[in-house]
Amino acid sequence: MKHAPFAYGSGFPTLLRKEVKRFYKVAFQTVAAPVLTAVLYLMIFGHVLEDKVQMYGHLSYTAFLVPGLVMMSVLQNAFANTSSSLIQSKITGNLVFVLLAPLTNIEFYAAYVLAAVFRGVVVGCGVFLITAWFIEPSFAYPLWIVGFAFLGAAILGSMGLIAGIWADKFDQLAAFQNFLIMPATMLSGVFYSIHTLPPVWQTISHFNPFFYMIDGFRYGFFGVSDVSPWMSLLVVGGFFIAISIAALRMLQTGYKLRH
């Protein structure tokens, strides 16, 4: 029976709670492990480059690196949450029970993406709390930090939803992550300013939406960025709308979900 989205008695709260509990029950793997990975990045790159690189004329390299690592952790874990959940449900065959629940496409999408945002933000906060010991924290524009963290996590959660729907096995999902998500994230300016790149690579970087997520997020900490934060917000917001429409369209048509 169809009903208005988020109406009383819908399965949205239950699905959202189920997705949050799914990663929470294995928090050592889904939260602690990514935090440790980010700290190792900071210790290695910070130790090697701290005395050799200064960013924006006054920032230490370690201070520059911390927001990038936080946002990278947010993005990667938001993607992992939705993509791994869907592919596991498809392979084990229990996805049918979710599809039979009183859920609209919007509720299905919102539950998975909000759970992904929650995991991404939890991991990001964990990374920041640990790495903040290495720097003196700065919060120039907190609302920009929150806005880009939420939008970035929602975009990657939506991309994880798309990947999970498209993939039929773990190998396909791994290919999606290794050949698309990982390169786009690592080449987004997490470890460097694009102004240090040759002109051709600077131009290419401007076509990477992940760059705008990282750059806008970093602007919230220091008040400086490689491009205008309003341009970053426009690109990230537009990309979020496009990815959301694509994901909702796949749900509406039942692509690889309702055979």
pLDDT at 54: 65
Residue 198 pLDDT more than 50? yes
Distance CA 141, CA 259 (A): 48
- Please classify residue 23 by burial: count the beta carbons closer than 10 Å to its beta carbon, then call 0-12 exposed, 13-18 middle and 19+ buried: buried
d(CA 21, CA 237): 29
pLDDT for the residue numbered 2: 53
Residue whose pair of structure tokens reads 């749900």 in the numeric block:
251
Per the CB < 8 A criterion, the answer to whether 222 and 147 are in contact is no
3-class state of residue 2 by DSSP: coil
Bridge partners of 55?
59
- pLDDT for 48 equals 77
Residue 27 burial (10 A CB sphere; 0-12, 13-18, 19+)? middle
Q: What is the mean pLDDT of residues 224-237?
A: 95
Site of tokens 């997020």: 217
Alpha-carbon 145 to chain mean position: 14
Crossing angle for the helix pair 33-49 and 105-131, nearest 10 degrees? 50
For residue 8, is pLDDT > 70?
Answer: no
How many whole angstroms separate alpha carbon 72 and alpha carbon 62? 15
Torsion of Cα atoms, 130 then 131 then 134 then 139, to 10° = -110
pLDDT digits (tens, 9 = 90+) for 74-124: 999 999 999 999 999 999 988 888 888 888 999 999 999 999 999 999 999
Closest C-alpha to 87, from 34, 181, 22, 24:
22
Q: What distance in Å separates the CA atoms of residue 150 and residue 132, rounded to the nearest whole number?
A: 20
Mean pLDDT along residues 28-44: 93
Give me 76's structure tokens. 């990667």
pTM, whole model, 2 decimals?
0.93
The rounded mean pLDDT for the chain is 91
d(CA 220, CA 143): 7
Question: Which residues, other chains included, contact 244 with Cβ-Cβ below 8 Å and sequence gap of 6+?
Answer: 109, 154, 158
